[in-house]
Structure 1
């Protein structure tokens, strides 16, 4: 294929934390990369598993960081969770909300009735992250679920990234109710399809691309939705995570950051690389430079080419961890840059 990676897609679905920004700062190159996406007329959708904030608040935060964003470009797991229930319940049905007021508002906006107590006889439970969730909220939901209420979790993320580190996420609270009820919820957020399907539908996209830093949510969600994905290395995912990934977590493209959207398609794609050779033998990947002094030698992009070549050699024949070794000083430098010992 010719052209940039972006040239082959009519919409980009962007994960937020770890992809567009990290904590309170934009990820490297995010502003210029997204501005170029808009300049080319490609639809942008910000896709987040966060169910604690309304879409407008997410858009306001992105604008405060210097990006252009409107509420209709934001797809949240709260929206997806409420929509999943609205497809199954009659208008006015009572839904016990475990989560923020933003989640309750999404439920009400779709014609359902949000409640907070099991005494109100809810026919469904929707559960999203809120730092204010306590034992009482879980107890009310437990009673409703055990009585047969339909249970939807906005997401099942075990942890929530914060500036203090990884803290308990909605999935940890879901796990408590799972243990208490013996039931399994329907999940609306990544890696399940409802959230991504809504984002694609809102963009009226026929050739969407998912972009994210987490294999277990962003990339897995793309695989389940049947769309290609770009893994960026600005968040939690590492080069080793990519190389060792099982089939259901493998991206088609890998780049350092969102500027990879504007690199040539064949550069970001996992596949044979002109600067690198990989030999697979006895459970070992041996990396060697295709020439003694490639022009790009010593650059981060050159090292990423080595990662793409390693993935292309390992994925067809194996899965999981594998020993990687270098055959020359150029490949030794590349593996060091990628974080391989």
Structure 2
């Protein structure tokens, strides 16, 4: 009989991919092993990604090659969420102009919609997702269609996407071309908006899901919008300073260095005598001096204590960066176990 671990409270993991399971083509160290162990314990794995460029089958093949257990049915993409949104609004056979890749086209066909490539096809909607070969010509066709009244839908609004080389422009950055040229803001299907979470719940039937991600503005905010628990791992975009200064909708339920934390008991900060304690760390906030952190041990425990103190002091707002920098230095110097953001 194993001791209570973090994963024991949940029946489904809703896992982001980029920055959580892999970075570019390579696995995050230890991630496949942690996922195999979760699956062996009967936890459903659903890979929920804002990346709409690839098909579920291609994503599952990539995951399998990295050693993570995955089939196409386990993958839920923002392309699928966008396709369901459009199919429910327009019905089968509707023409949709695709400013993106094969992942979007396949998702539309699966919902009975007709992907097209020019404004001359009189599409009822334009849907945009990231694609490495996105051309000026396709952006122009999308612009023309939106100007003529087509509904504008973005698979996601991520401004960047993490890779092994650093952060590259994401779909949110690319949608600014059509939005700026037309004055029309897109409806967003991906995280943190509800359509992708709804798609995930419909596909998995999860009753006690845990959202796992590396971004505060998509994964964690999306979990908050859906009213479910979340785990932030420090293997992708979010850095300790981002956590310490996070507003209420960007505060995860749990903080961990990586996915291996799923299989260990979780050390929760506890409040006592005006301070927050987590294992060997103590964090205290004073209005004059800001956040102060003392201790030694696993730096993630220090970060958990520091976040608890900063979030309590900030309330419905966000802590000032200058007020938390002293504590951040202590976390960085105090112990191992803390991976900072992959940002260059």
Q: TM-score, normalised by structure 2?
A: 0.88
Q: Which residue of 2 aligns with 1:313?
A: 309
Report the CA distance shift for 1:274/1:164 in structure 2 as closer, same or farther (over 3 A). Answer: closer
Q: What CA distance in whole angstroms lies between the structure 1 residues aligned with 2:25 and 2:11?
A: 29
Which stretch has the larger CA shift, 157-166 or 6-15? Answer: 157-166
Gaps in structure 2 of 5+ consecutive residues: none
Deviation digits for residues 222-258 of structure 1, max 9, x if unmatched?
1112111111111121122111111111101001110
Provide the secondary structure at the position in 2 that maps to 1:106: helix
* CA 1:15–1:337: 2 relative to 1, 3 Å: closer
In structure 2, do the counterparts of structure 1 residues 24 and 276 end up closer, same or farther at CA, with 3 Å as the change threshold? Answer: same
**Which shows bigger deviation, 27-36 or 222-231?**
27-36
What is the correspondence of 1:200-215 to structure 2 with a 5 Å cutoff?
200-215=201-216
Partner of 1:276: 281
Secondary structure, counterpart of 1:86 in structure 2:
helix
1:336 CA displacement: 8.9
Greater mean alpha carbon deviation, residues 130-139 or residues 316-325 = 316-325
Counterpart contact for 2:213–2:220, Cα < 8 Å: yes
Structure 1 residue 264, shift from structure 2 partner: 1.4
Flag the 1:102–1:269 CA change in 2: closer, same or farther, 3 A.
farther
Aligned to 2:87: 86
Please name the residue that 1:294 is paired with.
none
Q: Deviations over 1:106-131 (max 9, x none)?
A: 11221111111111111111111112
Could you list the per-position Cα deviations for residues 150-186 of structure 1 after superposition, in whole angstroms to 9, with x for gaps in the alignment? 1111011222333343322221221111111111111
User: Structure 1 139/324 Cα, relative in aligned 2: closer, same or farther at 3 Å?
Assistant: closer
Which residues in structure 2 correspond to 1:50-61 (within 5 Å)? Answer: 50-61=51-62
Does the 8 A contact of 1:286 with 1:324 survive in 2?
no
Q: Distance between the aligned counterparts of 1:331 and 1:98, measured in 2?
A: 44
Matches within 5 A, 1:190-269: 190-267=191-268
Question: In the alignment, which residue of structure 2 is the partner of 1:173?
Answer: 174
Q: 1:162 to 1:28 in 2, by over 3 A?
A: closer
CA distance in 2, matches of 1:104, 1:331: 46
Is residue 255–residue 268 contact of structure 1 (8 Å, CA) maintained in 2? no
- Asked if the contact 1:254–1:268 (Cα under 8 Å) also holds between the matched residues in 2, the reply is no
SS at match of 2:312: coil
Q: Structure 1 residues 56, 191: CA separation in 2 closer, same or farther (over 3 Å shift)?
A: same
Q: Tell me which residue corresponds to 2:70.
A: 69
Taking the TM superposition and a 5 Å limit, the aligned residue runs for 1:275-294 are 275-281=280-286, 282-289=288-295
CA gap of 1:132–1:103, structure 2 versus 1, over 3 A, is same
Q: State how far apart, in whole Å, the 2-side matches of 1:230 and 1:161 are.
A: 18
Shift of residue 261, structure 1, vs aligned partner = 0.9
Question: Cα distance, 1:275 vs. partner?
Answer: 2.4
Distance 1:196 1:29 in 2: 26
- Separation in 2, partners of 1:189, 1:102: 14
Residue number in structure 2 paired with 1:156 = 157
Q: Which runs of 5+ in 1 are unaligned?
A: 290-296
